[in-house]
Amino acid sequence: MLEHDVVIVGGGLAGCRAALELCRQVPEINLALVAKTHPIRSHSVAAQGGIAATLKNVDDQDSWEAHAFDTVKGSDYLADQDAVALLAQEAPEVVIDLEHLGVLFSRLPDGRIAQRAFGGHSHNRTCYAADKTGHAILHELYNNLGRYGVTIYEEWYVLRLIVEDQEAKGIVMYHLLDGAVQVLRAKAVMFATGGYGRTFNTTSNDFASTGDGLAMAAQAGIPLEDMEFVQFHPTGLYPAGVLISEAVRGEGAYLINSEGERFMSTYAPSRMELAPRDITSRAIATEIRQGRGIRLDGRVGGPFVYLDLRHMGEAKIMSRVPFCWEEAHRLAGVDAVHEPIPVRPTVHYSMGGIPVNTDGQVRSGSEGLIAGFFAAGECACVSVHGANRLGSNSLLECVVYGRRTGAAIAQLLPARKLPAINEAQYLQEAHQMLQELLDQEGDRRIHTVRQQFQDTLTEHCGVFRTQALMEQGLAQIHQLRQELTQIRLDDKGKLWNTEITEALELRSLMTVGEVILTGALHRRESRGAHSREDYPQRDDSQFLKHTLAYVSAAGIDVQYLAVNLSLFEPQERKY
């Protein structure tokens, strides 16, 4: 059995930042980081637009209180305000620390870190490295881990979280290279496994964003929080769905419908293109529904609108958002200096996740914690985003809460012993599960079942939702679940068997998708990204509370958790 003081699952920004903090605070630590991808291929590397912090380099009127207020208002008042306060207060310090690590932020002429406008933020506070911010940060963090001697298990797929008697003891993992299975025990386990964009058919997310960590936690009896809040980013490139960063609108681009109108004047006159994402995505979806979308041949009534950069000029486009120009050029054949880019909403971010407190400790329910289990980043829900995340707050969450979680684990370590684990039993169960998968005799293919599942969730739990639509969606997912046992794998080998991991990821997707739909069905109101046509108003009297969904063989049980409202009174949300 493998043994480490701490194991972190996930090599994105949250996992790497937590690892760095542990190495700084406990230099002699025996730390492992496991990732199913190479760490620098984690989805964090694709983050484009930037990271928010009130450095006041561009706007000296900014303050952490303003950042906190924008975040809480953006969240439609569902965010936990104690967690938001920490996020905003610690932001300048973590960004300066990144800069000291060597992250190449874009600069003002006087050499200080540049800051741009972003949706829902009332001041220019987003720090950036052109439109490759995630790349710049993740590479620096990862390089630093090498210096501290962290053991990296790259391209190991974690199959199972070991929880016994409300205590996390370790993980079971599978080596993609040769099919080896190992049990790893540790004094503390941390998940930083990222999001689940691949539950939908159109997403900006990486192929690896399949919600495995969420599914493993759920399977271990841990509730998932606020999973119905799925962020649709307004500007996915049509038709690929890849992201055209909000930084493009931050730098001044317009959204235009088939009439040539800047239609955001109807939906958010004071913020226009820089309204929060839920509002902007609904605006685009409404324009398209009402026949003011555009078709590829330029005629009206099509499935996208235009993002128009032309007035910004070539010099600004190429210096501030060069990667977005390149994406549009490479994937849609559009030269954004001279032509508008076709865009429509794309699934982008998971506001919900594994419930944690502000030290990253995982909750076992509305009261109580799972001993030795931590989570941070997109897979966690400390609830700084509530019902809708503001752009550039997620990278920030990863570094602020990655650091806090690393520090909390460092505090706890002296009091924890390596737990006892029945290794033979866990190995036997894992081998049996894998063998059963290889031996399945059906005639269904992974990709067709996955496609049907992704289409179902997209159609039945998209930007606009209704009870009837979601009930049909759930019934279809229950049907598709049966088909999981009829999937046939062609590759029966051990070496680099990608069919096995795809089949396992499909199971994760289905678990997560069912929780999203169930939470959405129970939440009979519209708040942030969750928009119900049958309940169009926010209902604070009944639903100003977090959803906690428990998965079991008997089905999904929905309970609730109070929201922390320590800073601001809920108000009507207008822009």
Ligand X SMILES: Cc1cc2nc3c(=O)[nH]c(=O)nc-3n(C[C@H](O)[C@H](O)[C@H](O)COP(=O)(O)OP(=O)(O)OC[C@H]3O[C@@H](n4cnc5c(N)ncnc54)[C@H](O)[C@@H]3O)c2cc1C
Binding positions for ligand X, rule: CB under 6 A: 9-15, 34-37, 39, 42-44, 46-51, 133-134, 157-158, 192-194, 204-205, 208-209, 212-213, 243, 349, 377-379, 391-395, 398
Cβ 301 to ligand X shortest distance, Å: 29
Q: Is residue 277 annotated as part of the catalytic site, yes or no?
A: yes
**From the candidates 17, 185, 277, 404, which is the catalytic residue?**
277
Query: CB nearest ligand X: which residue?
Result: 12
Q: Which is nearer to ligand X, 360 or 473 (CB)?
A: 360
Cβ 191 to ligand X shortest distance, Å: 8
Q: Which is nearer to ligand X, 273 or 378 (CB)?
A: 378
Cβ 153 to ligand X shortest distance, Å: 8
Taking each continuous run of H as one helix and of E as one strand, the counts in the chain are: 16, 20
Cβ 219 to ligand X shortest distance, Å: 12
Q: Which is nearer to ligand X, 209 or 526 (CB)?
A: 209
Ordered strands of the 126-127 beta sheet: 51-52, 126-127, 115-116
Q: Which is nearer to ligand X, 158 or 561 (CB)?
A: 158
Give CA 480 to chain center in angstroms. Answer: 25
Q: Which is nearer to ligand X, 18 or 275 (CB)?
A: 18
Longest dimension (CA), the chain: 67
Q: Tell me the CA distances in angstroms from 388 to 4, 11, 143, 526, 560, one per residue in order.
A: 37, 25, 32, 12, 18
The residues near 285 (Cβ < 8 Å, ≥ 6 apart) are: 232, 344, 345, 463, 464
Whether the bond into 239 is cis, omega within 30 of 0: yes
Q: Which is nearer to ligand X, 200 or 543 (CB)?
A: 200
Alpha helices in 77-132 (DSSP H): 81-101
Can you tell me which residue has the tokens 């870190």? 113
The answer to whether 245 and 233 have CB atoms below 8 angstroms apart is no
Cα(382)–Cα(398) distance, integer angstroms: 11
Cα(80)–Cα(127) distance, integer angstroms: 24
Cβ 125 to ligand X shortest distance, Å: 12
Amino acid (one-letter) located at 156: W
Cβ 26 to ligand X shortest distance, Å: 21
Cα(446)–Cα(247) distance, integer angstroms: 36
The residues annotated as belonging to the active site are 277
